[in-house]
Amino acid sequence: MSEPIVQEVIIAGMSKTVANYDYAMSELESLVEANNMHAALRIDQGLEKPNPATYFGKGKVVEIKEMAEANELNIMVINADLTPSQVRNLETETGLQIIDRTGLILEIFGNRARSKEAKLQVKIAQLQYQLPRLRTSISNRLDQQAGAAAGGGGGFTNRGAGETQLELNRRTIQDRISHAKHELKELNKDEEVRRAQRDKAGLPNVALVGYTNAGKSTTMNGLVKLFGKGEDKQVFEKDMLFATLDTSIRQLTFPDNKQLLLSDTVGFVSDLPHNLINAFRSTLSEAASADLLIQVIDYADPHYKEMMDTTEKTLKEIGVTDVPMLYAYNKADLTEASYPSQQDDQLIYAARDEKSLQVLTKMIKDKVFKDYVKTTLLIPFSDGDVVAYLNDHANILKTDYLADGTQLEVELNAVDAQRYEKYVVTPA
């Protein structure tokens, strides 16, 4: 299969309206690359506030048009969310296709969605984004976006005949949003059943969260390789933003038979569109229901503290506020820091280093298994199936064969401790 053609684009922003502007523009460039584009030209403006009609000042708009023509570029990506009229006016005056920040992220999500759930989540966000733009944008790209969203396609590329903006009236869009939400609700019911079954099993749930491309999937794959079942598949990982949008869940079983569920959630980015956060709320619910969060941080990125702030802000926005958290500073192998290095709930590590993963594992176990019960059980020989179960699912500290049964000194989770309470040996 041939490589897709990379589009050359202009990236642009307004320096005095954004904190950490250079970082924001660097992130925009990374997002552009994630969307199979290349930032061939960067344009900055230092106005105190945007022009309500064209976002940029009149002189800058003329300059943009001239520079675009001189460099034969026809797309501009802007590091801001524009009003529909700003998009229309800029497109009219420059002749460029205009993509704002939200539109860009929606394109990336549309192209990356693989599962039915992710496709529906993105489709809802796309349609909600398109709704106020039906009569204002003249961009061919937004026409394609509308057609893809209406037809159920993953991205904004023109897949099939599509529909023009004129055909996509507000009522049609709203009906499609309602239909997609209904489909998603039905899928969520199935997921709620699966989650209830996992909760019934009494296994702790640990969720990996953090900025996109911080190394969550690499960390998960390393832990699955060490402690997963033989048939467990590795999750997709690649050095790019939003490599995957689907939450993956794997069961880990440690040598002492302690078990937990590990989930890898969709990554965050600064100013993640609100519609996307709402659409992905069910996917992110794995984080909300977790017993422990591991925030994976790209320690090699000079802006990692800003990335941590973004993660904390997004978690708060989806209602995750009281879940214990470990801070895992990844990619230490790309820095001068020694690793693995642990201090309290913080770990400097490298996700591809087994020693690092062993230290992270101990930190996880110290948190999620701290309430395990140590007890002594005397199990009659007639209940050999109980002994077999405990040998497979509990941490057996000592086994003695007595005249009236098998005596086990065992470490149990709360569910099993209650289940086998009748076998507990009362101290003399």
Q: What is the mean pLDDT of residues 398-406?
A: 94
Q: Averaged over 352-356, what is the pLDDT?
A: 97
364, 326 contact by CB (below 8 A):
yes
Q: What are phi and psi of 325, to 5 degrees?
A: -140, 140
* Residue ranges covered by each domain of the chain: 7-99, 203-369, 373-423
Q: Nearest CA to 282 among 124, 174, 108, 104?
A: 124
* Unique residue bearing structure tokens 């699955």: 224
CA-nearest of 85, 84, 90, 83 to 12 is 90
Reported as a pLDDT band with limits 50, 70 and 90, residue 213 is: confident
Known binding positions for GTP: 210-217, 242-246, 264-267, 330-333
Look up residue 413 and give its two tokens.
């989770």
Check for a shared fold between 7-99 and 203-369. Answer: yes
Lowest pLDDT segment from 133-142, 333-342, 389-398: 133-142
The first and second tokens of residue 68, run together, are: 């675009």
Query: Of 66-80, 117-131, 258-272, where does the model show the most confidence?
Result: 66-80
Cβ neighbours for 245, distance < 8 A, ≥ 6 positions apart? 109, 112, 113, 114, 115, 118, 121, 122, 266, 280, 283
Mean pLDDT confidence for 137-155: 46
According to the model, what pLDDT value does residue 230 have? 61
Task: For residue 194, name the pLDDT band (cuts at 50, 70, 90).
Answer: low
Q: Is the pLDDT of residue 426 over 90?
A: no
* 280, containing H or E segment: none
Q: How many CA atoms lie within 13 A of 303 on its CB side?
A: 16
Average pLDDT (267-271) is 79
Share of the chain above pLDDT 70, in %: 82
Look at the block and give the residue holding tokens 């966000």: 125
Mean pLDDT of the chain: 84
Which pLDDT does position 238 carry in this prediction? 57
Confidence of residue 414 (pLDDT cuts 50, 70, 90): confident
Encode pLDDT of 31-66 as tens digits: 999 899 999 999 999 888 999 999 999 999 999 999
pLDDT of residue 3 exceeding 70, the answer is: no
Compare 189 and 183 and report the one with higher pLDDT: 183
Each residue's pLDDT tens digit, 277-333? 776 666 566 677 889 999 999 999 998 998 999 899 888 887 888 899 999 999 999
Q: How confident is the model at residue 165 (pLDDT cuts 50, 70, 90)?
A: very low
Q: Which fold has domain 7-99?
A: Rossmann fold (3.40.50)
Residue 242: its pLDDT value, please?
Answer: 61
| Range list of β-strands (E), 19-149 | 37-45, 75-78, 97-99
Count the neighbouring beta carbons within 10 Å of the beta carbon of residue 358: 15
Whether the per-residue pLDDT at 266 is higher than 60: the answer is yes
Higher-pLDDT residue of 421 and 288 is: 421
Question: What is the side-by-side order of every strand in the sheet holding 75-78?
Answer: 37-45, 7-14, 75-78, 97-99
Give the end-to-end CA distance of the chain in Å, rounded to a whole number: 73
The C-alpha atoms of residue 270 and residue 34 are separated, in whole angstroms, by 15
Verify cis geometry, omega within 30 degrees of 0, for the bond prior to 340: yes
Q: For 350-378, what is the mean pLDDT? A: 95
Q: How many CB atoms lie within 10 A of CB 391?
A: 14
Q: What is the pLDDT of residues 216-248, one digit of tens each?
A: 989 999 999 999 876 556 665 555 566 555 677
Residue 56's SS3 state is coil
Half-sphere exposure of 344 (CA within 13 A, CB side): 3
Please report the DSSP string for 162-175 in residue order.
---TTTS-HHHHHH
Pick the CATH number of 203-369 from 3.30.420.40, 3.40.50.150, 3.20.20.70, 3.40.50.300: 3.40.50.300
CA neighbor of 399 nearest in space, from 408, 391, 390: 408
CA distances from 414 to 253, 394, 407 (A): 17, 11, 19
Q: Which residue has the tokens 């079954």?
A: 197
Annotated binding site: 210-217, 242-246, 264-267, 330-333
CA 34 to chain centre: 15
Query: What's residue 154's pLDDT?
Result: 43
Bridge partners (DSSP) listed for residue 358? none
Query: Using 50, 70 and 90 to split pLDDT, how confident is the model at 152?
Result: very low
Q: Higher confidence at residue 381 or residue 4?
A: 381
